[in-house]
Structures are given as C-alpha cells and as structure tokens.
Structure 1
Amino acid sequence: MQPVEVQERPQKRQSRQSLAQREVRLLVLDIDGTLAGPSNQVSEPVRRAIQRAKAAGVRVAIATGRMHRSAERFHYAIGADMPLCSYQGALIRDPESQKTFKHWRLDWALTEELLQVLQDLPVGVHLYIDDQLYVRELSPLSRAYAERSQVPFQILSPAQYGQRPTKILVVSEDTEFLQELQGSLRQRYSPEQLYLTRSEPIFLEATHPAVNKGNAVRFLAEELLGVSAEQVMAIGDGDNDIEMLRYAGIGVAMGNASPALLPYADWVAPPVTEDGVAVAIETFILT
C-alpha cells in the first residue's frame, strides 16, 4: 500500500469572496473542538447546517484522531455519507458496510522500541489494536479518556505483544513535558519512520509515517469521489488538522484552534461553543 503524499503548499489565504465562489463537493469535519465541544455532542444548529449542505449536493465525511468505534456515533449523528477516517486517517472504513478502504499499522519492532522509550516516563500509554483500547496502567487521565470516548479499555498484557497497533497515544497533563518529548522523539525517529502529532495539548500521538488527515482526505476526494482539492472544504482545530487544511481548497480553523493551525487556514470560524461549523457552512456552501 503506497502512501499518498501531500505536497507543501504556499500560503493559501484568499478573500472570503473568492473562496465563496468555489463549488464545494466534499466537506470534511474534525470532531473534538470542531463538531463537538465540552458537551461531547453535536449541536442542533450544526446538524441542520450539515443537512442543508447535503441537500445542496455536498458529500460529508469525518476525519478524527478518535478510534473508529468512538467516532461512529458522530458519523451517524451528522448523517455523514462518506467513509469514516479515524486514528488521524490510519483507518478509513465505511461504518455502514464495514468495508475497510485503508488501514496503516505500526510495525511491531518499532512499537516495542517506542514502548521501551516510554517505559519509565511519567505518562499514560494507550495502544489501539483492532479498534480495541489497551492502557499500560489505569490512571485518572486514562479513565477520563475512556469515559469521553465511550469505549471500554483493557490493561495491556503480553498477550498483545507482537500485534501491530493502529496508533500509540501518550497522555500527560504536563503539556510542556509532552512538547519536549515530541521534540526528542522527532530527533530519534525520522518522518519516514513515525508520524507524531498533537490532537489535544495533553495528547501526543504516534502512527505509521504514511498517516495524516491530509492523506486521508485526499483519498476520499480524488480516489473515491474524483474531485480536486479545490472542491474540498475542511474544518478543524488542532495541530493534527494542519495537513488536512493545507490540502483542502477551503481550509477553515475554528475560533478555538491551536495557534499552530492558524497559518494554514483560509478563514477562521467562531469557536465550537458558538457553532462555528454552522457559520462556516453558511458562509462558503449555502451562500
């Protein structure tokens, strides 16, 4: 399975008028901080706006760092009609048919080495194998993560050794330490070995090097729909949305977005608590 490359692009910022003139054929949405805020639910104004976009002929997809099983309820809540891109795009699967289009896993040798590096660090470690959540040890952060994700967890045991995970997640409330850890891991592992990103300040995520949301969205657009990047609108709020916004013809950052994402946005919507997704849809699709 060959990775899909997202080429570096120049600064994309254009006027709202020129962007609004584009025909959007595919709308791709992040979940946390974009579709769902503190309530962990999709608001009615956002639901209605998405349904109006669908009625206008726009296809809708989700691209998230969440597990597939955790993201499915959002897929159904908004009536998404494209395969679900979970684990930063490492797994692209249709919830209705359960057909898997792409699945990139980490090599076990690299996984084992990374687990050794993390072994004595004061962080929580989660492994995701066949859409099951395994934790190194139970901590308040891991319990809170499982509750918000609404998925059960198991303690990692030797029975899982040798199984290739879809993602490794490092959890810590010490965000400065995670930033330092991300830097040291990027010195240790090249981009050809490991993709490292931050979906939330307390999360550091590691996946196969071919994985990022930009690659996943490109697959949906060009391989499944046969549309160009200029016909894609993507909305997100985190560092892990950079590649997705960089690829899309219209890249929208939420008002609550990470500062690292803003340079890649064509437009900044209101925050998730003010239904920014609905405002963006109204501005660029329904105008």
Structure 2
Amino acid sequence: MKDFSLDSISSQKGKIALVTGANIGLGYETALALARKKATVILACRTLTKAQQAKKDILKEVPEADLEIILLDLNSLDSVREFAVVFSKRYERLDLLIANAGIMMPPFQKTEDGFESQFGVNYFAHFLLVNLLFPALKNTNNSRVVMLSSIAHKGGKIEFDNLNSEKTYSSWKAYSQSKLACLMFAYELQRRIEKAKINSKALAAHPGFSNTNLGQLLPTFAAKLFSPLASFIGQNAKSGALPTLRAALDPEAKGGTYYGPNGFREVKGKPVIVGSSKKSHNQEVAAQLWEISEKLTGDKFVI
C-alpha cells in the first residue's frame, strides 16, 4: 500500500462534504483539508458562534473556501432531524459524510432522548444522521461515509442489557462501547451497501492518541494530564485527522476499510489500514445493534 499524501489528492471541486464537530480539533483539521481541496464543506456544529469562528479561521487559510454552517446538536435526535430537513432542502447530493464529533468519559448523564450521553452522541445520533441523509448519499456516485472510532473500541463490548448504562456506569466502558458501535456500524453498512449493489462506501478511521479537545469532559485531574500526555506520546490534531482524510479521499480506498496510525500500538504515525477487534466483526451482534438502533432512534433505515 502506497503512502498517503494529501498533496497527491486531486481537486474535490463540485463535491459536497459534511463534517460533524467541524469547529475544533480533528473536525476542524478535516474541514480545513477538504476546503483546501476545494470541496464544498458543511460545518455541522452545535454552537453558532464557534462554527462562525471556525469558518473565519478556515477562510484565513483558504480565502476561496466554499463553506456553509448548518447547526447540529448530537445530544438531540430532533436536532438531527431538523438538520437533515435543512440539508435536504439545499442539497440533492452528498459525497462525503464524516461522522467526527464525539465526547469522551463524562460523568454519567443522558441526552435529550434518554440515552447515555456517549452512546447517544457518538453513535445513536450519527446512526440517525446517516440514515436520514442516505437518500442523498445513494444519489451520489461513489459517495462515502466515514465513521470515527477509537483504539478504545478494542476494550468495548455491546451490552444490549445495559446500552444506556442505567444498571452500572463506567465512563471508560461506555466510551469504548460507543466507539465499538461506530465501527460495527461502518462494517454493517458496507455489507448492506454491497448487498444492495449501491455505488457508495462505508469506512472507518481512528486518530490514534491525539491532542484535541476530546479530554475536556474528563475528571479535573485526568483532564489536566490529557493534553500534556497526548502531546508527549501522541500526535497533534492535524496528524490525527489524516486517517479520516485517507478514508474520505484515497481513490484506492475500499468499503469496509479501517484506517489508523501505523506507529507503536497505533498511537501515532502515518495513516494506514489497521485491524480491529474480533468483536467488531461479529455480524450477528452488528445486525442486532442495527435493529435496536432503528427502534430507539425511531426511523427504519432503508438502503
């Protein structure tokens, strides 16, 4: 497999790319790189002022960037539905949907819809978003969905009897479960795309150990350690975004592929195809998770 370089990627002019959590960290770096490649980039962000600042910053780097802000709060399925309505009124196609936004290890709390916050924000909201925007993806030749997973998925387990952590709550286990779910969704979506013979791809990526805002919800002591530790043994957000960008832009990328850094324990390094846990390939669990996700988000996912 050849080394990946953004410089070798051709112009993406005319393509529509959507990045959730595009105002900061990995999402910002992903949006900036796509803007440099002349894609139209939808900044799907929760807070207008932060989205506007991100847009301003990108325009400083890429004055000709084609950017649009559409507000999206992944803490609310109603917000996801409103986003899909607004997007669908403005666009008939969607080339890239990058499910980047996420939270990590907060104290136990629930989303507006009663989901444990990490599973709700990281997984359920993105499942619904892909579902509602799939007609546009299906309508676009060679479209791609990229789900953000994590090294942490390897310690995850889909606990159907405790998806919302109401019996017991471990912030780390809940985070790992949510990232395992994101990865399993990418694999299952690709299987269903292939079965339906649709010209789209579902892929996944993880950033290694990147110095981003993801640690902001950690307990105070851990939060203070997160950034220095990530800087010391990990990599910056720009490098952390490269596996996502490879999944999104590499012309040789195949559906069902998972990208991450090539360094020791995938903490940092160049973006390459990486393996995933045995649990992530369990098709029976993936199908059950899909069915439950449809039920709990309230929308049938029609491929």
Higher relative CO (Cα under 8 Å, sequence separation at least 6) belongs to 1
Q: TM-score with structure 2 length normalisation?
A: 0.29
Give the number of the structure whose residues are more often helix, by fraction.
2
Q: Which has the higher strand share?
A: 1
Q: TM-score, normalised by structure 1?
A: 0.30
